[in-house]
Structure 1
């Protein structure tokens, strides 16, 4: 379903990104396999994992090249797209998958922890997408596939930087979808549930969290790839500005924030009337302030 397409996948040396690159190549795409090869916290660089993915694609009869640039660097992000165009003549889909984790409880999170995660996730999505946009616009087609997370959509402990970046990616994707619709370009998000080296760094502080991690181990990275390949294909030309999730054999469509309760007061609100009238009317519609991703998806996947 991707015959003749050119797809760039960031963070494709390992885990989810690797599985996406392999499947896109299997479906006929020429793939730019980008991976800086850094540690889970973003330190160091090693082109080896990306090269291994490329070698495996070629061994199976597919087409792929390596790009070892950092998506956090605008020039590096641009090189990903330029390599695609120089080698294969075009770019049809961008998969913004690259990521790092620097999980810290809020009161211990440093500016460095914040900036590092925002740079790779949110700024990285912007950098790579911005580089591909002129090509998409000129050819009147293209697909952006961004990776968000339920840590941003719902919330999680110790991930203020990651959660903010991942929810910011949703806002970025929505704006791209609206701005680029007239050019035939679509933009969607996926929240993946899959065991990876990043997930493996999350500590279990109690039995419930330990059980959740064990459930995550059953969710293999290859389960995410089919939806990505679909969104990169022409079969998805009417699909844009959506948020999906993949959890083993489940695919979700997520809702977006919309008003759930409106209270009008003809003579306007005071501090006292908000406390006495608005709050009792609105409280039944409040979300649980302690709810986190694991509470929503606490059941075992099938």
Structure 2
């Protein structure tokens, strides 16, 4: 089966360079009409330029595709609405959204200003929410949508000096989980990418040899699957260097205490059981955890709960 996007319209944020550029070119090469969004800022969010977005559009058009550039700041609702309206005026629909735009302002938490913390969260989390919120009613009306949020191993696993970035990227999982549920009726599928690539943000971290292996082009094929017609939903996909994997959150079976036994001392005494991975499970919604705990407590108390 060949994955194609003929007749589909896609928005890719932060698409002037790096991963976003690769995603935009990949979509266009397979038939999508692409809105190349890029504010043209430096890695820390300073400045503004349309040159990089325009260059990607020119590359797509030269290859026979269709594209338009827009320099919306993803955290600015008015600018995002203008971008979406221009896409609708030009092509009449929006099928795909890849939220990729981001900045870095790395410092240890003790040295970081709250302004730098808020700015990174604003671009990554609020920016993702703003663009997604703007296209959401369009996708609902169409009865079709494919959305990718971009997380990071810094959010999933932690990375020294990136409390702001890690917090924003970890939030993508929570946003995806809820949007997956709310979009299911209208065939809006929502997934999350956790990439490791050589980009402007990371190029100083890798040797030339490793940098070549981790080119953005080694990640984009996975993203194209996540926005295809047969895409899954609610998947966190790790990707880099041609490797593709799924990240999952598990909950252990744990323990249940009752009455006077619910003490910190008893939690400490049975910590090995609390953390034992045997029979751990994936919970798919918040009330599954609630139901699990209520049933455990009822079972211990000899109470039969109604289903």
Paired position in structure 2 for 1:110 = 113
2:136: which partner in 1?
133
Which of 242, 247, 251 matches 2:240? 247
Q: How many residues align?
A: 273
User: Is the CA contact (8 Å cut-off) linking 2:190 and 2:233 kept in structure 1?
Assistant: yes
Rg comparison, structure with higher value: 2
Structure 2 runs not aligned, ≥5 long: 278-307
Query: How far apart, in 2, do the equivalents of 1:233 and 1:263 lie?
Result: 42
Q: What is the rounded CA distance, in whole Å, between the counterparts of 2:64 and 2:190 in structure 1?
A: 30
> Is the Cα contact below 8 Å between 1:23 and 1:229 reproduced in 2?
yes
What are the residue-to-residue correspondences of 1:82-101 with 2, within 5 Å?
82-101=85-104
Secondary structure of the residue that 1:113 maps to in structure 2?
Answer: helix
The match for 2:59 is 56
Distance in 2 (CA, whole Å) between partners of 1:231 and 1:282 is: 35
Q: Which moved more, 1:176-185 or 1:39-48?
A: 176-185
Q: How big is the alpha-carbon RMSD for the aligned residues of Structure 1 and Structure 2?
A: 1.6
The Cα shift of 1:278 comes to: 2.4
Specify the alignment match of 2:299 in structure 1. Answer: none
Q: State the Cα distance separating 1:247 from its structure 2 match.
A: 1.5
Aligned to 1:225: 220
Q: SS of the counterpart of 1:41?
A: coil
Secondary structure of residue in 1 paired with 2:239: strand
Q: Secondary structure at the match of 2:54?
A: helix
Mapping of residues 9-48 of structure 1, within 5 Å: 9-48=12-51
Any idea what the Cα deviations from partners look like across 1:108-142, whole Å, max 9, x if unmatched? Answer: 11111101100110001100000000100101010
- Quick one: distance in 2 between partners of 1:201 and 1:124? 26
Distance 2:225 2:251 in 1: 31
Q: 2:219·2:242 contact (CA, 8 Å) conserved in 1?
A: no
**263, 277, 283: which one pairs with 2:255?**
263
Distance in 2 separating the partners of 1:158 and 1:201:
15
Q: TM-score, normalised by structure 1?
A: 0.86
| Secondary structure in 1 matching 2:106 | coil
Match of 2:230 in 1: 235
Relative to structure 1, is the Cα distance of residues 42 and 141 closer, same or farther in structure 2, using a 3 angstrom cutoff? same
Q: Following the alignment from structure 1 to structure 2, what is the Cα–Cα distance between the partners of residues 79 and 227?
A: 29
Task: Report the 3-state secondary structure (helix = DSSP H, G, I; strand = E; otherwise coil) of the residue aligned with 1:253.
Answer: strand
For residues 264 and 209 of structure 2, the distance between their equivalents in structure 1, rounded to whole angstroms, comes to: 48
Unaligned runs of 5+ in 1: 203-209, 286-302
In structure 2, the residue corresponding to 1:263 is in which secondary structure?
Answer: coil
1:223-268 CA-partner distances (Å, limit 9, x unpaired): 12112222222132xx111110111111111112x31241122333
Residue 108 of structure 2 contacts residue 162 of structure 2 at CA under 8 Å; is this kept in 1?
Answer: yes
Tell me by how many angstroms 1:63 deviates. Answer: 0.3
Task: Give TM-score scaled by structure 2 length.
Answer: 0.85
The corresponding residue for 2:270 is 278
User: Please, which of 160, 163, 166 is the counterpart of residue 163 of structure 2?
Assistant: 160
User: What do the CA deviations read for 1:190-210 (whole angstroms, capped 9, x no partner)?
Assistant: 1111100011366xxxxxxx6
- Distance in structure 2 (CA, Å) of the matches to 1:262 and 1:165: 29
Q: Do structure 1's residue 172 and structure 2's residue 164 form an aligned pair?
A: no
- Report which structure shows greater RCO (CA 8 Å, sep ≥6): 1
Q: How far apart are residue 284 of structure 1 and its match?
A: 5.8
